[in-house]
Amino acid sequence: MLFNRNKSKAWDRLDSIYKHFKKTQMKDLFAADAKRGELYSEQLETMLVDYSKNRIDDNVLEALFALAEERGLKEKIADMFSGKKINATENRAVLHIALRNRANTPIYVDGRDVMPQINAVLEKMKDFSEAVRLGRFTGYTGKKLTNIVNIGIGGSDLGPFMACEALRHYWAKDINCYFISNIDGTACAEVLNKIDPETTLFIVASKTFTTIETLTNARTCRKWLIDALGEHAVAKHFIALSTNKEEVEKFGINPDNMFAFWDFVGGRYSMWSAIGMIIAIAIGFKNFERMLEGAFAMDEHFKNTAFEHNIPVILALIGVWYNNFYGVHRYGVIPYDQYLQYLPAYLQQLDMESNGKSVTLDNKFVDCATGPVLFGGAGTNVQHSFFQLLHQGTEIVPLDLIVPAISHNEIGAHHQILLANILAQGEALMRGKTEEEAAAELEAAGKSQAEINRLKKYKSFTGNRPTNTIILKKIDPFTLGMLVAMYEHKVFVQGVIWNIDSFDQFGVELGKKLALNILPELQGTAHNVAHDSSTAALIKHIKKIRK
Ligand code: G6Q
């Protein structure tokens, strides 16, 4: 179906609603309806999503749901869950949902049920992760493997890294996890300095097994291990997570030590697959399965719930409302939880790599804005850094504020202070403070009239700044699974609205290719390659310094 927003009835309706609605103040909407908070909240299992502090009302929401209907969202969701090749540019199915399909109902790709192979790999992961944790699979010299190093980048790093950090509370006491992703030798050196070869397991995580950063890091680690323990030790200290058996063998890893996944699992959607091995080793396979169950609960909710109560759909459409009608192309995720501190970095890839596209599925340039710029950081830290701009800057930045009601570390009043802060931020951003209110406060503080007049503008806040508040019970594997799956589906819904392929990533290729051209120049084996004058001068300058 050709999507042209200028000819879309639902889009036109939203355009005209926006013209009247844009000046509406959220605080007036709250004043007019004492039940607004309750009305615009949804709960799933142990997760509550309050989306009431947004510039929306029933009329706006209805029009957004109509847009989703018009875009065929229901059918698109069914297509994904049934294994249709919705990653059209790469002609692939998109089946991260199959990896956590706890009902084990068949899902067919090219006439073949994918569930048996998924279950077989999960079984193999279970055996291996338990063998490592129990010390049944040991290092070459018979010592227990307690340092687990994941070597991977992008989707083969960010998911496992974020999830391991989020679930640190569940780590086996004698296990430590490390992550090497950057090609910068420092990344390798800093990890290798901390660990002992006899007790280290390297996990080479690469879907393609051709990624230069990962293979270079893996080779360096392999040499480090061989220097210490000899060539024979490799089989006991290296495993691979990949779709490419041939390259794994070429690298020198025994295929018995390879854990497979498939081209229907996108890199940034792969932490539920073999790529999650380090998570399973750290937290135990039972907990890993709980994470899959949490994601499955969100999948079922997403697949079966009417748009009006469908959490990923609602969040996605509110995002579209700001992005395409208010012209707000940015968005922040602020977890108020130390364990979730890497969630924004993970979501940055999920969202920006998925929806940072400019060509529609009909092979035309888009005629509306697509994926927003996503950033974030852990509360309360960021309240003392970039929140100034969020409160008083000229840019509107919609936020997701996330917090667990119960901390794993309930020490004194820490968690209550944290909770008070997240709630206060949402309230402050929505309500703001008028000049009159600022003046009254200054007066109460005993300031002179001249001082009050001088300061009241600086001390006022426009408010009307949107937030979603997501309250979790506790950061446990099940909850994390739900949360991550919620964002995956939110991104998918937005991709459907914008009619783009959320599952390819051609945009990362050009720079990679050019780096391969420049490398021989820096190494002195190629000369006089054509470049723009800036790049040419920079190459010359670097070579001079490194001589
Ligand atoms: C994710 C991307 C990308 C990918 C990395 C690593 O969706 O495809 O981030 O995960 O480039 O690729 P390999 O796993 O093939 O090494």
199 lines ligand 1 (CB under 6 A): no
How many Cβ atoms from other residues are within 10 Å of residue 436's Cβ? 10
Strand order, beta sheet including 258-260: 176-180, 147-151, 200-205, 238-242, 258-260
Residue 352 gets the label, from left (phi > 0), alpha (psi -120 to 50) or beta, of alpha
Average pLDDT, the chain: 96
Report the range of poorest mean pLDDT among 33-37, 51-55, 221-225, 509-513: 509-513
Termini Cα distance of the chain: 58
Cα–Cα distance for residue pair 56/54, rounded to 1 Å: 5
267 lines ligand 1 (CB under 6 A): yes
Nearest CA to ligand 1 atom 1: 267
Cα–Cα distance for residue pair 297/289, rounded to 1 Å: 12
- Which residues, in sequence order, are CB contacts of 229 under 8 Å at separation 6+? 140, 141, 197, 198, 237
Q: Over range 166-170, report the average pLDDT.
A: 98
- Residue 509: predicted pLDDT: 85
What would the 3-class secondary structure string for 136-151 be? Answer: CCECCCCCECCEEEEE
**Substitution candidate for ligand 1 out of 156, 261, 265 with most atoms within 8 A of CB:** 156
- Residue 528: predicted pLDDT: 82
Residue 1: which pLDDT band, with cuts at 50, 70 and 90?
very low
Identify which of 477, 484, 486, 488 has the alpha carbon closest to the alpha carbon of residue 279.
477
- Residue 449: predicted pLDDT: 98
Residue 8 Cα to ligand 1 midpoint, Å, equals: 35
Give the dihedral of Cα atoms 66, 72, 75, 76; nearest 10 deg.
-110
Nearest CA to ligand 1 atom 2: 267
Cα–Cα distance for residue pair 152/183, rounded to 1 Å: 10
211 lines ligand 1 (CB under 6 A): yes
Residue 512: which pLDDT band, with cuts at 50, 70 and 90?
confident
Q: Over range 174-203, report the average pLDDT.
A: 98
Q: Over range 89-110, report the average pLDDT.
A: 98
242 lines ligand 1 (CB under 6 A): no
What's the pLDDT tens digit per position in 335-358?
999 999 999 999 999 999 999 999
Q: Over range 1-22, report the average pLDDT.
A: 85
- Residue 174: predicted pLDDT: 97
Residue 342 Cα to ligand 1 midpoint, Å, equals: 18
What's the pLDDT tens digit per position in 204-218?
999 999 999 999 999
- Which residues, in sequence order, are CB contacts of 331 under 8 Å at separation 6+? 319, 322, 351, 372, 373, 374, 397, 398, 399, 400
153 lines ligand 1 (CB under 6 A): yes
**Substitution candidate for ligand 1 out of 157, 207, 351 with most atoms within 8 A of CB:** 207
Residue 103 Cα to ligand 1 midpoint, Å, equals: 28
94 lines ligand 1 (CB under 6 A): no
Residue 5 has pLDDT above 80, yes or no: no
Identify which of 335, 336, 376 has the alpha carbon closest to the alpha carbon of residue 352.
376
Cα–Cα distance for residue pair 276/292, rounded to 1 Å: 11
Cα–Cα distance for residue pair 293/32, rounded to 1 Å: 40
Nearest CA to ligand 1 atom 8: 267
Q: Over range 360-373, report the average pLDDT.
A: 95
How many Cβ atoms from other residues are within 10 Å of residue 324's Cβ? 22
Residue 63 Cα to ligand 1 midpoint, Å, equals: 37
Looking from the CA of residue 205, the nearest atom of ligand 1 is 14
156 lines ligand 1 (CB under 6 A): yes
Residues designated as active site: 353, 384, 512
CB 84 within 8 A of CB 59: no
Residue 6: which pLDDT band, with cuts at 50, 70 and 90?
low
What's the pLDDT tens digit per position in 469-496?
999 999 999 999 999 999 999 999 999 9
Say which amino acid occupies 343. L
What's the pLDDT tens digit per position in 378-433?
999 999 999 999 999 999 999 999 999 999 999 999 999 999 999 999 999 999 99
Residue 240 Cα to ligand 1 midpoint, Å, equals: 15
206 lines ligand 1 (CB under 6 A): yes
332 lines ligand 1 (CB under 6 A): no
Nearest CA to ligand 1 atom 5: 154
- Residue 547: predicted pLDDT: 87
464 lines ligand 1 (CB under 6 A): no
What's the pLDDT tens digit per position in 23-32?
999 999 999 9
Q: Over range 54-83, report the average pLDDT.
A: 98
268 lines ligand 1 (CB under 6 A): yes
Residue 140 has pLDDT above 70, yes or no: yes
Residue 512 Cα to ligand 1 midpoint, Å, equals: 12
197 lines ligand 1 (CB under 6 A): no
Report the range of poorest mean pLDDT among 157-161, 212-216, 522-526: 522-526
**Substitution candidate for ligand 1 out of 87, 161, 211 with most atoms within 8 A of CB:** 211
- Residue 32: predicted pLDDT: 98
Residue 510 Cα to ligand 1 midpoint, Å, equals: 14
What would the 3-class secondary structure string for 360-384 be? Answer: CCCCCECCCCCCCEEEECCCCHHHH
Residue 3: which pLDDT band, with cuts at 50, 70 and 90?
low
Cα–Cα distance for residue pair 291/273, rounded to 1 Å: 12
Nearest CA to ligand 1 atom 10: 155
Nearest CA to ligand 1 atom 16: 206
502 lines ligand 1 (CB under 6 A): no
Residue 267 Cα to ligand 1 midpoint, Å, equals: 5
Residue 291 has pLDDT above 90, yes or no: yes
- Residue 2: predicted pLDDT: 46
- Residue 38: predicted pLDDT: 97
Residue 156 Cα to ligand 1 midpoint, Å, equals: 6
Q: Over range 163-181, report the average pLDDT.
A: 98
92 lines ligand 1 (CB under 6 A): no
Nearest CA to ligand 1 atom 9: 154
Residue 334 Cα to ligand 1 midpoint, Å, equals: 25
CB 470 within 8 A of CB 47: yes
Residue 158 Cα to ligand 1 midpoint, Å, equals: 10
Do the strands 238-242 and 200-205 form a parallel or antiparallel pair, or are they unpaired?
parallel
- Residue 4: predicted pLDDT: 65
Looking from the CA of residue 213, the nearest atom of ligand 1 is 16
Looking at the chain, the whole-number percentage of residues with pLDDT higher than 70 is: 99
354 lines ligand 1 (CB under 6 A): no
Looking from the CA of residue 242, the nearest atom of ligand 1 is 14
- Which residues, in sequence order, are CB contacts of 106 under 8 Å at separation 6+? 113, 115
